[in-house]
Amino acid sequence: MSDHERIERMLRADAQDASGPGIPLDAAAIARGARRRRLPAQLGLGAAAVAFVAGFGGVAIAGMPGLLGGAGEFSASESVRDDDTSGGAAEPFASPDGGDEVDGDLGGADGETVWDVVRCGEPLPPVGHSGDDRLRLELAPLDGSSARDGELTVTGTLTNVSSERLELLTATHLVVGLARDGEVIWSTVGMEAAALVPTLDPGESLEYTGALELVDCGGTDPEASIRGGSPLPGPGAYEVVAALDVRQTDDGEPISDPVVVISPRASLVLP
């Protein structure tokens, strides 16, 4: 049984114990909203907490025990080096809602993060806005018919298109935005307090995933409401973008300001 199913069962049981049968309860929406509100709080961990690193070829994962999932939560393309073990540890990020900054923070020099660039109720980022012309983030084709329980997995590939070897500190998952008529109607809120530290040679790439919920936030930040949005009405055509916080490092030490790398817009048709 998944965490979502366990939460839903507990919510229904609590509601019945407290109010008796016959009280309508949208447990799925409450669980979804609670999950969203919990994610940013996970990012406010202090720098005194101990981080750990697990190496996977040219990629290392840094994060907090209990918050970082298994290796199956990310996948590297076959072009990522198998014999490279470089990359240093990274502390958890700062919270997107203004938590204390710690070493390894991926916020931009002017405070801009992925949560500012792809935000519910705001226009899509300008076409061609990528944050760093040495890196390209491309989304795999999207199939609306593959959605399950109102969610769709989005896969993006980050490629080093420069002529230099890049050591990076990146988020573990994509931040995803769903748009209609050029305006974001749903966006990711928060992510795990963990980071990847990949090393990419010219032409090499790394694959990331993100979850897209097929709901409309109603033009407001979905974090502000436990309801989490309304299901999308019927078939339709939408646009999807993904963004990733990235910072260049050298032997584990940051040597550049963080940037937000954004994918081109991808088409999503829901049946």
Structure tokens at 245: 């916080």
Name the pairing type of β-strands 135-139 and 166-170: unpaired
At residue 150, the pLDDT reads 82
CA distance 77 to 247: 20
Predicted TM-score (pTM) of this structure: 0.61
The residue count for the chain:
271
Q: pLDDT band for position 157 (50/70/90)?
A: very high
**pLDDT tens-digit profile of 211-220?**
888 888 876 6
The pLDDT of residue 199 is above 90:
yes
What Rg do the C-alpha atoms of the chain give, in angstroms? 19
CA distance 161 to 146: 31
Q: Strand, helix or coil at 166?
A: strand
CB contact set of 188 (below 8 Å; sequence gap of 6+): 114, 115, 118, 173, 174, 175, 176, 177, 210, 211
**pLDDT tens-digit profile of 95-139?**
333 322 333 445 444 456 777 788 888 898 877 666 788 999 999
* Stronger pLDDT, 269 or 66, i.e. the higher one: 269
At residue 39, the pLDDT reads 36
DSSP per position, 94-108: PPTTSPPP-TT----
* Stronger pLDDT, 244 or 111, i.e. the higher one: 244
Q: Would you list the domain boundaries of the chain? A: 43-270
Cβ proximity of 228 and 189 under 8 Å:
no
Cβ proximity of 103 and 91 under 8 Å:
yes
The H or E element that residue 19 is part of is helix 3-19
**pLDDT tens-digit profile of 62-105?**
443 322 333 333 333 333 333 333 333 333 333 333 322 333 44
Which CATH architecture is the domain 43-270 placed in?
Answer: Sandwich (2.60)
